Amino acid sequence: MNDSQDILNKRARELARPLPGKSHERDVLEIVEFSLGAESYGLELDHILEVYPLRELTSLPGLPRFVQGIINVRGQIVSVIDLKIFFEMTSEEVTAGTKVIILQSKDMEFGIMADAIIGVKAIVKKEIMPTLPTLTGIRADFLKGVSRERLVILDGAKLLADSHLIINEEVV
């Protein structure tokens, strides 16, 4: 086997291992882990409609810098936000591996750009720490917690409800 196959096998074993103890479903957070630059983030599956490859992004003039444009997902128009710009991080170019995580609530739907999808994992809720001192600024406002592995778990409900992400201007 080659090195990449060994790495994939190791990841599969880690993701397949049973959770410690006899946790109930409500004691566990199911998240999608993704990367933004060099950092790993997670979002609860409850807020995610789907993960979609970023193929064609149409820019629109006059929108805030963090709104990268819109995409067509099977006939549905979805706005796409770059969290790196929104969180005031260093933004990088879009690559062939860039994905869009489409978040949805009953009132809102939009996509966020992810440099890569790492996978789906379960995290025991009682093991989630409240914060890291290095997470400051706007990122801290959307923080649900940090896992033992230093995975930053974002609060999808807060993202979906934030008024700064709602662009509702009429053109006159």
Sorted by sequence, the CB contacts under 8 Å of residue 98 that are 6+ apart come out as 53, 54, 113, 114, 115
Of 11-15, 40-44, 125-129, the range with the highest mean pLDDT is: 40-44
Task: Say how many C-beta atoms besides its own lie within 10 A of residue 160's C-beta.
Answer: 18
Q: Three-state SS for 135? A: coil
Partners of 148 in the β-ladder: none
Q: Which domains does the chain have, with CATH numbers?
A: 27-164 (2.40.50.180)
Position 23 scores a pLDDT of 45
Confidence of residue 33 (pLDDT cuts 50, 70, 90): very high
Q: What is the mean pLDDT of the chain?
A: 82
Question: What is the structure's pLDDT at 21?
Answer: 54
For residue 12, the surrounding DSSP H or E stretch is helix 3-16
Assigned token pair, 35 = 């990367």
Distance separating alpha carbons of residues 70 and 111, to the nearest angstrom: 9
Which tens digits make up the pLDDT trace of 114-152? Answer: 999 999 999 998 888 877 666 556 566 788 888 888 888
Give the residue from 4, 3, 86, 93 showing the smallest Cα distance to 54: 93
Max avg pLDDT among 21-35, 110-124, 144-158: 110-124
β-strand partners of 159: none
Percentage of residues in the chain having pLDDT higher than 70? 82
Task: Give the strand pairing for 109-114 and 76-81.
Answer: parallel
Weakest mean pLDDT among 1-10, 79-88, 145-154: 1-10
Conformational region of residue 88, where left means phi above 0, alpha means psi within -120 to 50, and beta covers everything else:
left
Helix (H, G, I), strand (E, B) or coil at 125: helix
